[in-house]
Every structure is written in C-alpha cells, then in structure tokens.
C-alpha cells in the first residue's frame, strides 16, 4: 500500500498547503480519506487516476474536509464512470450528495453506494471484502467525527514449491485448497496437511487515518499495531489550550497515540496555517515517538518500499532541498504549460502569436478523446495571461506566490521579473503537460 498526502492544511488552505485529503493506493485502487477543495487536482499531480477511486471516506462535516467532493463526483460523471463508487461518512452524506445532484440537475451514470454512520455507534465495519475491511470509530471533536482504519486481511502463507513437487501436486485447485487451510487427499490415498506445504499466514498491511480529534482512546484503538498512522497535529505544545478548546491535537498528542498504539510509523498532518516551519511540530512529536514523519503533499509513503517503489510517479517533481541540483542539460527540458498552443482561443483578439515560450517545440498539444487537438478549451477560462500566472505559481512552489499575485499587475508590461521569465526553462521542475489523466497509470 502507498499513502499519498494530497492536502495537509487545516481549516484554510495556504499558498503551499491544500485542504485535507489523503489517498491510499492499494493494488490499483485508490481510497480517498477526506476530500478537501483541490483534492482531485492534487491526485493528478500525484500521478493517481481519478477513475481508480474505489471509495471515499469523509470524517466529518467541517467544510474543509468535504468541499472537494461534489467537484470530484462531477468529474467522474464527465469521465463516464461506470463502476460503483462507495461513499462513506457520518449520517447526512447521502442527503448532501443527492441534494447537490438534484439542485444542479445532474444524473449520475454510476451507482453511489452510501454507507452512513450514526452518531451512537462505537465501532463499525463500513466496508468488508475478501481482501480487506475498513473500520470506523467516533473521535473526540467539536462535532461528530469518524476515524478510519484500513486493514488488509491476513494473506495465506507462501507455498513450498519444492515440497509440492515432491508430492506431485500440480493442479491449481489443489494449491488453492491447501492455501485455504484444507488438507488434501491424493489419488493414492495420502493425506497432505495444509501446513506441510503452506507457510505461516502473512499479516495484512494496515493504515489508520485519525483527524480531527483531541487525544481519545478510540484513536489508539484504530491505530493499534498499524504500519502507518496518519494523525493530525494541528498545534504545537505552546497552543495546547487552543487545541483542547477547538477539539484538535498537538504534535505531542499524536505521538502519545502512536506510542500507545505501537504503530510502526507516525505521519503527522493537518497543520495550522500559523506554522511556516513544520519542523517545530516534528521535533515535538519525535520527543514522544521517534519514528515520525511530516506529511508532505504528493510525497508517497510506502508500507513496503521494496515492492512498491516506482508504481506512482508524481507528475510534479519533488525537490530535495538538502541535495545539490543535478546538472541536467537543457536538452532534457520538455517545455512547459503550452500557453502558446492555446493562443487561438480565450479572449477575443487576445493571445500572443507564437506563444511566449521559446523552448516549446517538444510540446504536444492537448488532445480530446476523439484525437482532435482541443486548443484552448478554457480550463482556466479566459486569458492566456492568467495561465501564465498559474505557471509562475507552480514553478515557484508557492513560496513567492503572494508577492506576485496582485490583481493589478500588468502582465503585458515588459517589466517581468527575470525570475519568472519562463522563456528560460526551469530545469529543476518537470512541468505538467495539459493532458488529463486518461490512459495514464
């Protein structure tokens, strides 16, 4: 399994942090925990196909935790999804989604399987399949809020192929039966016990998602023995009072849950916008529980790195600032967001002929599904200059966004800060192309 934080802010997004959402990738399916604004875009950037979403789990009805839900459902509809979608959350989620759909007159072509959790339960399995189950428990927040645990069921042990050959077992059905724990009687009457051929069962992977909450026993129960616990750490120790007052945890609270639950790895997220240096929170968490990581948007966390490395390739390159930049040649640069290629549409009479990016010869124009170039279909609406504005945002990782985002700035003016001169390729970033995620991954 792979855990990909998509949004690690709390309450309000910042220039570099999105609203809460965490994706769990397992064997080609995606399970989304919370769905804040922008989750679906972050999925694309992380290299996760939206069509692969199997289930969406909403913790509670604070707007920042579900504000991306309707947008995502709308996208799935536009993608002509056929597969059923599981939608799990506190009671009310069905009414919310159905009201929205009927308000906008949208008819969904796929089935929505709602699982609503009443506020009087203490523990419930909201999903249960042959391979895994998901358990929900109420947490301690200002309103009814659920924590989730995704648990793979134990896998059968490995078959000893050499021994099986000795006994003359070749049939798939015989292997299946032995793996299921049944004994096997061969044609000559020999009985083979399952344990002779099949090793010990292998424990399933596990992941717990705990936010928003104060410290509470149910958080520990959800996280008990998990491989990865994603826990909120909205505040630092200095604001412990505020944490209690607002029904949130400090980094030390998260560490306490991890310690008591003996989880293998604690990942903290859901940070208050007031913290620009998250290492303060990391330090406080590590004082209580050393194997703690900071959640990093789009940075995947592998439960078993040896098996899963390379499955997800983020479409936005993550830069390790502690390492020196490799000296890659300019020839590798693939161009960037092709606003030149979109210049035909948008604003009447607008658009700069030829585009503004000299290195765009490698650019392949966005194509619609029927293969025709789509031109400017207006994902960003009206202005090429606006597109360039978002380029800047992306290329600079948000750090300087604020200082350059003034609406009054005249982008036609030639006083462009050379830092943002996108005719010079920024080699450290692999820009996204205009492709949607069809046919990817």
d(CA 273, CA 235): 10
CB 31 within 8 A of CB 50: no
Residues assigned a catalytic role: 64
| Binding test (CB under 5 A) with Zn ion, winner from 37, 54, 152, 212 | 212
d(CA 98, CA 378): 28
Nearer to Zn ion, 249 or 395 (CB): 249
Q: Binding segment for Zn ion among 97-105, 209-217, 319-327, 387-395 (CB under 5 A)? A: 209-217
- Residue 233 Cβ, how far from Zn ion at the closest point, in Å? 12
What lies within 8 Å, CB to CB, of 381 at 6+ separation is 346
The pairing of strands 228-232 and 206-210 is parallel
Q: Binding segment for Zn ion among 44-52, 152-160, 182-190, 210-218 (CB under 5 A)? A: 210-218
Q: Which contiguous run of DSSP H or E holds residue 33?
A: strand 29-33
- Residue 42 Cβ, how far from Zn ion at the closest point, in Å? 16
Nearer to Zn ion, 274 or 409 (CB): 274
Beta bridge partners of 136: 124, 148
Q: Binding segment for Zn ion among 5-13, 90-98, 134-142, 409-417 (CB under 5 A)? A: 5-13
Nearer to Zn ion, 42 or 169 (CB): 42
Distance of CA 328 to the CA centre of its chain: 30
Q: Binding segment for Zn ion among 200-208, 212-220, 324-332, 432-440 (CB under 5 A)? A: 212-220
Rg (the chain; Cα; Å): 25
Distance of CA 172 to the CA centre of its chain: 37
Number of residues that bind Zn ion (CB under 5 A): 2
Q: Binding segment for Zn ion among 127-135, 211-219, 312-320, 342-350 (CB under 5 A)? A: 211-219
Tell me which residue has its CB nearest to Zn ion.
212
- Residue 74 Cβ, how far from Zn ion at the closest point, in Å? 23
Supply φ then ψ for residue 128, to 5 degrees.
Answer: -150, 115
Site residues for Zn ion, 213-232, by CB under 5 A, read none
- Residue 52 Cβ, how far from Zn ion at the closest point, in Å? 25
Nearer to Zn ion, 271 or 289 (CB): 271
Distance of CA 403 to the CA centre of its chain: 29
* Residue 436 interacts with Zn ion (CB under 5 A): yes or no: no
Nearer to Zn ion, 30 or 233 (CB): 233
- Residue 27 Cβ, how far from Zn ion at the closest point, in Å? 29
CB 51 within 8 A of CB 28: no
d(CA 369, CA 375): 13
CA separation, residue 115 to residues 87, 88, 126, 127, 136 (Å): 6, 5, 7, 8, 11
Nearer to Zn ion, 152 or 212 (CB): 212
- Residue 36 Cβ, how far from Zn ion at the closest point, in Å? 9
CB 327 within 8 A of CB 423: no
Site residues for Zn ion, 7-66, by CB under 5 A, read 10
d(CA 145, CA 214): 11
**Contact residues for Zn ion (CB under 5 A)?**
10, 212
């Amino acid at each position: 399994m792979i855990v990909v934080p998509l949004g690690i802010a709390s309450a309000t997004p910042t220039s570099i942090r999105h609203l809460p959402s965490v994706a769990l990738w397992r064997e080609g399916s995606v399970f989304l925990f919370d769905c804040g604004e922008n989750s679906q875009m972050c999925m694309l950037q992380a290299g996760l196909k939206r069509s692969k979403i199997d289930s969406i789990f909403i913790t509670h009805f604070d707007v920042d935790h579900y504000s991306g839900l309707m947008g995502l459902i709308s996208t799935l509809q536009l993608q002509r999804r056929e597969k059923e979608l599981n939608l799990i959350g506190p009671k009310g989620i069905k009414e919310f989604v159905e009201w929205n759909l009927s308000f906008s007159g949208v008819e969904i072509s796929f089935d929505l399987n709602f699982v609503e959790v009443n506020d009087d339960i203490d523990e419930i399995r909201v999903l249960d399949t042959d391979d895994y189950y998901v358990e929900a428990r109420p947490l301690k927040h200002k309103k009814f809020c659920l924590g989730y645990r995704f648990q793979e069921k134990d896998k059968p042990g490995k078959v000893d192929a050499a021994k099986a050959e000795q006994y003359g077992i070749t049939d798939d059905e015989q292997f299946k039966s032995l793996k299921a724990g049944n004994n096997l009687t061969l044609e000559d009457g020999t009985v083979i016990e399952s344990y002779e051929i099949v090793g010990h069962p292998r424990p399933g992977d596990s992941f717990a998602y705990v936010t928003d909450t104060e410290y509470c026993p149910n958080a520990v129960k959800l996280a008990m023995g998990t491989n990865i616990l994603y826990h909120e750490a909205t505040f630092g120790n200095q604001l412990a009072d505020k944490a209690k007052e607002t029904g949130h945890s400090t980094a030390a609270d998260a560490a306490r849950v991890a310690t008591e639950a003996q989880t293998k790895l604690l990942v903290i997220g859901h940070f208050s916008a007031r913290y620009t240096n998250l290492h303060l929170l990391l330090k406080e968490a590590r004082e209580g529980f050393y194997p703690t990581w900071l959640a990093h948007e789009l940075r995947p966390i592998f439960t078993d790195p040896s098996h899963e490395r390379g499955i997800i390739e983020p479409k936005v390159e993550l830069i390790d600032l502690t390492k020196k930049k490799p000296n890659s040649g300019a020839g590798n640069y693939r161009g960037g967001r092709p606003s030149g290629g979109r210049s035909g549409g948008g604003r009447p009479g607008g658009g700069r002929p030829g585009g503004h990016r000299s290195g765009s010869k490698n650019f392949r124009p966005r194509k619609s599904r029927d293969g025709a170039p789509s031109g400017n279909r207006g994902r960003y609406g009206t202005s090429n200059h606006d597109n360039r504005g978002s380029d800047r945002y992306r290329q600079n990782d948000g750090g300087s966004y604020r200082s350059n985002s003034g609406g009054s700035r005249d982008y036609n003016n030639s006083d462009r800060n050379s830092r943002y001169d996108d005719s010079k390729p920024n080699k450290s970033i692999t820009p996204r192309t205009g492709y949607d995620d069809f046919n990817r991954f």
